[in-house]
Structure formats: C-alpha cells, structure tokens
Chain A
Amino acid sequence: AQRVTQPEKLLSVFKGAPVELKCNYSYSGSPELFWYVQYSRQRLQLLLRHISRESIKGFTADLNKGETSFHLKKPFAQEEDSAMYYCALSVYNQGGKLIFGQGTELSVKP
C-alpha cells in the first residue's frame, strides 16, 4: 500500500539552527515526491519536488530510495520558515493523486 509517514507532528528549533523534517514513503513503483508548505492563513503551496533537484528558500530534499526517505533540510532556519510542512507522494497509476503525510508543524523561535 502507498503511504507517506512524517514521524514528527511538531518540530521546534531556534533561529539559525539546522532543521530536518523527516519523510518516509512506501510505494512499489518509481516514486515522485514533493514537499508542500502551508504558512499561517495562506493556502497550501508547492515548496519543492525531487525531480527538480532545486533549492527553494534554502530548503533541499534528496530522495533516498534505499531508505525510502525524502527528508527536507535547511542549514539555518529563519522565523519566517514557521509553517506546516507536508510531504506528498504522487501515484500515477491511480489518477495521479497525491498522498500526503500527516504534516509537521515547524516552529522557529527567535
């Protein structure tokens, strides 16, 4: 069965500290993974996707097929990074639906 797991419901760090939001997936096919972010009072939006191999707002995420992980990292957290982060898996053989993890709330303290 396809599944996305984000083990941390809440992650609290101080400004300038490194941050890593964990994501593990279960999928028999070739995974297509994303990170979406929801800032307070804003709509859910794409942060980055693994096929782009890009860095957005200082965040990066590397797909590790051996560990079935797609952890989101940033070396120096900023207060404006405080938000809800969702890891998502695209399932192409089921109409392209996105399966989301439970979400991790990141709180960056001054």
Chain B
Amino acid sequence: DTAVSQTPKYLVTQMGNDKSIKCEQNLGHDTMYWYKQDSKKFLKIMFSYNNKELIINETVPNRFSPKSPDKAHLNLHINSLELGDSAVYFCASSQGPASGANVLTFGAGSRLTVL
C-alpha cells in the first residue's frame, strides 16, 4: 500500500528519445514535487504542483514538461534526452506549505540512464 509510487523504477534509453515517468500518491496531499538526484547524490527541486497548478518551476530545460491530470498524479515527460539527464528522479508529495510543517513523503525514485 505504497504512499507515493513511481514508475518505472529503472529506465535505460538512447540519446534523443522521449520518455515519461509517472507518479501517484494516495495520501490525499495537495502538493506534489519532482526532484533530481545527480551522480553526486545532490538533490535539487525541479517542479511543484499544488492542486494541479504549477507553483514551482526551477531553471529546468524546457525539454522537461510536468503534467498533473489531478492532484494525485504528477507525471514528468522528457523530450530529446541528453546524457546529462541521467540521474535518479524522485517524486514527493506533501499537504502543502499552508498546512504548517511542510513534510515531504518521497517515492522510491526512478533511475534514468541515457546512453
């Protein structure tokens, strides 16, 4: 009964391809996030949605496009994949900053390898 689930867990693909990572949460949270963890284990936020509305969009190439069909889902689509996109992508959710302590619940991560 996973709270935040991501698919796929592993993704190996060629440069130039387009791929998507899906995320779903069953916690009833209002806010969802995508974080990128690079090879040095550094975690950096990419996007955040609150009730299907984009509220955080860091300096991410526009090849990355998040989509939130409803507040329980936040998918990440990546066009024209590059070698530097290889990383572990973490989805997370929270009740949102307005709720007080903004505690994030993370998914298990999706390891993307671009060859």
- Interface residues, chain A, CB within 8 Å of chain B? 32, 34, 36, 42-46, 49, 51-52, 84, 86, 90, 92, 94-100, 102-103, 105
In the complex, the answer to whether A95 meets B97 with C-beta atoms within 8 Å is yes
Known: A44-B106, A98-B102. A92 touches B41 (CB 8 A): no
- Interface residues, chain B, CB within 8 Å of chain A? 31, 33, 35, 40-45, 48, 50, 55-56, 90, 92, 94, 96-98, 101-109
CA distance A4 to B50 in the complex (A): 24
In the complex, the answer to whether A103 meets B43 with C-beta atoms within 8 Å is yes
Point out the residues of chain A lying under 8 angstroms from B55, CB to CB: 95
In the complex, the answer to whether B97 meets A46 with C-beta atoms within 8 Å is no
In the complex, the answer to whether B42 meets A103 with C-beta atoms within 8 Å is yes
Of the listed residues B44, B102, B108, the one surrounded by the most CB atoms of chain A closer than 10 A to its CB is B102
CA distance A94 to B96 in the complex (A): 11
Point out the residues of chain A lying under 8 angstroms from B92, CB to CB: 44
CA distance A46 to B101 in the complex (A): 12
Known: A97-B45, A97-B48. A90 touches B106 (CB 8 A): no
In the complex, the answer to whether A92 meets B101 with C-beta atoms within 8 Å is no
Known: A90-B97, A92-B97, A95-B56. A43 touches B108 (CB 8 A): yes
Residue of A nearest to B46 (CB): A97
Point out the residues of chain B lying under 8 angstroms from A96, CB to CB: 31, 48, 94, 96-98, 102
Partner of B43, one of A45, A52, A86, A105: A86
